Amino acid sequence: MSQSQPDFTMDIYQNEYLPGGGRDVNAVVTVATAGTAAAAPAAETNSAEVIIIDCSGSMGAPQSKIAEARAATAAAVDVIRDGVAFAVIAGTKEAKAIFPEGGSLALADPQTRESAKKAVAGLRPGGGTAIGQWLRLAHQMFTSHPAQLRHAILLTDGKDQDETSDELGTAINLCEGVFSCDCRGVGTDWEVAELRRISTALLGTVDIVPDPAGLATDFSAMMVAAMGKQVADVSLRIWTPQHASTQFVKQVTPAVEDLTGRRVQSGPQIGDYPTGAWGTGESRDYHLCVQVAAPGAVGQEMLAARVSLVTASPSGPEVLGQGLVRAIWTDDEALSTRINKQVAHFTGQAELAQVIQEGLEARKQGDEDTATAKLGRAVALAQQSGNEDTAKLLAKVVNVVDAATGTVQLKKKVEDADEMALDTRSTKTVRTKK
């Protein structure tokens, strides 16, 4: 492993005992990197950043929106380290490289950062919104440079109205695996589902910044996190024996992301699931379910899966960590019915994200009974798991009568920003309480 890469650890939590006839093996895989986030970052020449700013007409209403977006972009540029390749794109119904103007990337140093900030200071709102065009230009700029760690920040205040959903989808597919993208919506006139579609595919985050004044702090924090990344394109590699198959793989901390459909076959009975880039001092959890074709006899033990963490290197895949998932069949009910604490907790966290999104959609459709039931279930799950941040967001959308039983009443009037904050942050999870 190169000097600049952090050390990875992998722990697997499961109840390996299955009842007679049991076929599903569940495990939580915890992956962490040693040290603190302030440790040595990757070589500067290996990193590239693109900041994409919505400059459509709506960014001028109120005028503070574009002014704060300019200030936030300048703040993010200030965080970029010397030697990192970077660019800034202005997005309307077209995409324009405003720095550098040639459509390539510039290497950060005091002079280029100042030049970029001068170019950003000249941004003026006007025109429509075609986010797919913005992503395409970012793709073109990233692929013009050999950096492996590629990250974008995308800000918008509106809906993708100047292209079709299919056109946006084609652009997202083009960018998948090329760069990661953190998406932010400012104000309340943008679509959560639209930005989540981008951030999920591009292994980034999505969030609302209801007040433009909060943009600079958020942009700086995203860029600091990006500057801390050291290892690009890490995958969870899962091998299963011939008579077993992977049913699903989900990231469950720090946010719920279903990776099942992202599987890339890398050999017989082997699939790779992308986890994106990693820095020092990070920790993430993944919930894995393997199904065996035929249950074993009582007392029989089998290796249900081998889980590895791999990254590409010039000499081939480099294994960063490895763990085993086992299955043992038993007729001891006390053993087979014991649910592993981590597996139970993260199953609840995944359900929490799902019922929040379903409840908000039902509320939008005017189905108050379904909305009340789903959001009530969410309140109960949030309390059981100790997810206080989500509980606070739910309390802005429902009146909580009894959190333990999930008895709630829908609030008659809910601020758009509160509803969108609950939606965007519904996938954020917490770990089990010690």
Question: 2-16, 118-132, 187-201, 332-346: which range is least confident on average?
Answer: 2-16
pLDDT score of 3 more than 50: no
pLDDT tens digits, 413-434: 999 999 999 999 999 999 886 5
Cβ–Cβ under 8 Å, residues 356 and 426: yes
Question: Given this model, what pLDDT does residue 195 score?
Answer: 98
pTM for this entry? 0.94
Instruction: For residues 291 and 434, give the distance between their C-alpha atoms in angstroms, rounded to a whole number.
Output: 30
From residue 424, give the alpha-carbon distance in Å to each of 185, 257, 356.
10, 13, 10
Predicted confidence at residue 271, as pLDDT, reads: 97
pLDDT of residue 36: 58
Q: For residue range 124-150, what is the model confidence (pLDDT) as tens digits?
A: 999 999 999 999 999 999 999 999 999
Could you read off the pLDDT of 36-51 as tens digits, one per residue?
544 445 456 699 999 9
What is the pLDDT, as a whole number, of residue 163? 98
In this prediction, residues 161-166 reach a mean pLDDT of 97
pLDDT value at 6 more than 90: no
User: What does the pLDDT average to over 60-78?
Assistant: 97
Q: Spell out a b/e string for 352-385, using b for 16 or more CB atoms within 10 Å of the CB, else e.
A: bbbbbbbbbebbeeeeeeebbbbbbbbbbbbbeb
| Domain 342-424 in this protein, CATH class | mainly alpha
pLDDT at 312: 85
Per-residue pLDDT, averaged over 213-242, amounts to 96
- The domain ranges of the chain are 8-40+232-336, 44-227, 342-424
What's the pLDDT score for residue 2?
Answer: 42
CATH code given to domain 8-40+232-336: 2.60.40.3670
pLDDT confidence bin for 239, thresholds 50/70/90: very high
**pLDDT at 279 (0 to 100):** 92
| Token pair for 107 | 């290497």
| Homologous superfamily, domain 44-227 | von Willebrand factor, type A domain (3.40.50.410)
Residue 118 is predicted with a pLDDT of 98
> What local confidence, expressed as pLDDT, does residue 213 receive?
96
Considering the chain, what is the average pLDDT of its residues?
94
Q: Report helix angle 131-142 to 165-175, nearest 10.
A: 20
Q: Give the whole-angstrom CA distance, residue 137 versus residue 89.
A: 8
Tell me the pLDDT tens digit for each residue of 352-402.
999 999 999 999 999 999 999 999 999 999 999 999 999 999 999 999 999
